[in-house]
Structure 1
């Protein structure tokens, strides 16, 4: 017998859809602290908007538990993930499938100029030079996925960052895809770039972020964290997804979730492969 849902407040008609931040989860305690700080920044930017947090795994609250306690009939799930992949396409919609609220899954946070703004600022904080950048280059370190769309998204973020910095940027991965960060560093060094920085393309601290930073021969930036641009990007994805919301969702649509088709490059989905956990 299925246990009853916990009681929740009856929503007012026309209430604002809840923004649900969907974090992966990590065994690193700094990760939960980071995403809660990001949640607080989003709330500060838009007072009155209900903002909740749910995890795919490893941390509480889990996403299904968050969704059963919503006080609104609708919710927009914003993945704190930086590219398309298995979690966005498969895991999150499946976890949301039995929610009482009508849910929509927003696109991942990347690629986007606000993500690049954050990456740039984190590099500057780590010591990236504001003057001459001769012989400098960057490895953009990401978690990695076998999904080709995820790899293309990371490559696009690398191109946007290269344009912003004016130096070569090579994407590299902690798992499931090539090249690795050490391989990318060797490639850039062989091309004559003697100062190679690692830009951490991770939302929060974790095993993969630490592993990639340790491979940096020069400087390594901190994870993206609760940067103001990240909070603005989350709200942009929320608004973007609501812009595609059906005017009158059919009652039978409640409890369903599907990725929103509002990305700037709405390419056909490839068959997904599991995206590794940064645990």
Structure 2
């Protein structure tokens, strides 16, 4: 059984949680993972520790929805993973941040193209 956690920084704004929930729903529809969850590292709930603890998957992939690997990705999340792997026998894989993915570049260009189209109307 494989699980996925989309881990975000978190925010007081509900918009942030809504964006992660949107990605969660899209990924669930693909049927690649038996469990797909969202979690927050700094602010908001559920926390990453809570989500990892609640999951039943033997292998959990954590994708940090961060632009670059800063303190949370290089220190906080690995510490949480170490504790979670020790408390329950399972494999937790920390994936790279998404910021340098070519699809982020395409998303930037896509936003500009849509804006240019709107401005030309």
**Fold match, TM over 0.5?**
yes
1:58 and 2:46 aligned: no
Matches within 5 A, 1:10-49: 15=1, 17-44=2-29, 46-47=30-31, 49=33
1:124 and 2:113 aligned: yes
CA positional deviation for 1:106: 0.3
More helix by share: 2
Instruction: Provide the rounded CA distance (Å) in 2 between the counterparts of 1:31 and 1:97.
Output: 27
Aligned match of 2:75 in 90, 109, 125?
A: 90
Tell me the residue number matched to 1:145: none
Instruction: Provide the rounded CA distance (Å) in 2 between the counterparts of 1:83 and 1:48.
Output: 25
CA positional deviation for 1:128: 3.0
Question: How does the TM-score come out when normalised to structure 2?
Answer: 0.84
Tell me if the contact between 1:83 and 1:109 (Cα under 8 Å) persists in the aligned partners: yes
Tell me if the contact between 1:63 and 1:96 (Cα under 8 Å) persists in the aligned partners: no
Aligned match of 1:104 in 85, 90, 93?
A: 93
User: Deviation above 3 Å: which 4+ runs of structure 1?
Assistant: none
SS at match of 1:71: coil
Instruction: Provide the rounded CA distance (Å) in 1 between the counterparts of 2:61 and 2:74.
Output: 15
The number of residue pairs the alignment matches comes to 113
CA positional deviation for 1:94: 1.4
SS at match of 1:76: strand
Question: How does the TM-score come out when normalised to structure 1?
Answer: 0.38
More strand by share: 2
Q: Which runs of 5+ in 2 are unaligned?
A: none
CA positional deviation for 1:48: 5.2
SS at match of 2:61: strand
Instruction: Provide the rounded CA distance (Å) in 2 between the counterparts of 1:88 and 1:57.
Output: 11
Tell me the residue number matched to 1:197: none
SS at match of 1:57: coil
Instruction: Provide the rounded CA distance (Å) in 2 between the counterparts of 1:47 and 1:93.
Output: 27
CA RMSD in angstroms comes to 1.7
